[in-house]
Amino acid sequence: MPSDPDELHSWVLRKARDLPPEGLTDDLPLLAGRHLTSLHIPELILLLERLRRRPIDVEQLCAGDFRDLATIRARFLHAEPGELA
């Protein structure tokens, strides 16, 4: 059974376009690099809620929350319930 970070990585790989030759790295800018678009964010939030087993308060989201895989994991998968959206 894949881990939560593995499921996140697989989802981004399926959705991302025009990845660089080095592929999907933890620090690849997903939105700024136009590999994902704002249209992917609602589906990504639903995935993260399923993986975390708790909702994300979208009122608490910040512009940089979906910058790259490392940021997404730290913000949504590795923080304590009271620490994030």
CATH, residue 20 = 1.10.1200.10
The number of distinct structural domains making up the chain is: 1
Distance CA 8, CA 48 (A): 8
The pair of three-digit structure tokens given for residue 48, joined into one six-digit string: 């993260």
What pTM did the predictor assign?
Answer: 0.87
Q: What is the pLDDT of residues 64-77, one digit of tens each?
A: 999 999 999 999 99
Residue 35 pLDDT greater than 90, yes or no: yes
Residue 84 pLDDT greater than 60, yes or no: no
Can you give the length of the chain in residues? 85
Give residue 60's pLDDT band: very low, low, confident or very high (50, 70, 90): very high
Residue-number span of the structural domain to which 27 is assigned = 4-83
pLDDT at 82: 56
Distance CA 23, CA 42 (A): 24
